[in-house]
Structure 1
Amino acid sequence: MSDNLYYQKHVFFCMNERDDGRPCCAERGAQAAQEHAKRRIKQLDLNGAGKIRINKAGCLDRCEQGPVLVVYPQGTWYTYVDQTDIDEIIEVDLVGGGVVERLKV
């Protein structure tokens, strides 16, 4: 683990909920996707210090492209439709270190 990084990768899922009719991540399955990612990372024994952290976030200001998540420290933004997309992000980016180009926003 790097001296300045507590987590190797930190994933933030936008959970924003708007009540003014504009698109928001919450109405597009963000909660279920975040919970799925968290479960999957635990199943792979990749959670905890020095590994991967899956978090909820307030508005990330990209709901129009959403639902969205962002992976740090590299700052890669993704959209997703279902658990298959989340699994691909986990496999290719979080585990493999690559980028899922088709989901990048």
Structure 2
Amino acid sequence: MTTRYRVAGTDDFTDDSDRIICEVDGLEIGVFYVDGEYYALANYCVHQGAPLCEGQVTGEMAVDDNWEWQYDHDPCVVTCPWHEWKFDLETGVNISDERYVTPTFETEVEDGAVYVLR
């Protein structure tokens, strides 16, 4: 059974790339607002238990068709503040090794409130 938890108002997110870390049903979850979308993932790095959601949110460098480096906003990743492991905000997958995944949660927005489904 899925339960919907109100975690914040949309106006609690002050700007793009903002986040709120909260407790939902005994689990600490980071809710991110990036480019008009909300993402939620466990505030726990699967590497050594660091507070993952306290890390920097960025895109990544990628090589284009001409073999030149370019900054790509997709995927949007959060970088673990302890050992710099990077996880895709949407999927929770480590961008260097798909074996490592942090749990993600569906979000909903209704009447100016942001909800996490768990």
Tell me which interval the TM-score lies in, with the shorter structure as reference length: 0.3 to 0.5
Please report the TM-score for the alignment, with normalisation by the length of structure 1: 0.36
Tell me which of the two structures has the higher relative contact order, counting C-alpha pairs closer than 8 angstroms and 6 or more residues apart: 1
State the TM-score, normalizing by the size of structure 2.
Answer: 0.32
The structure whose Rg is larger is 2
Q: Which is richer in strand?
A: 2
- Report which of the two has the higher share of helix: 1
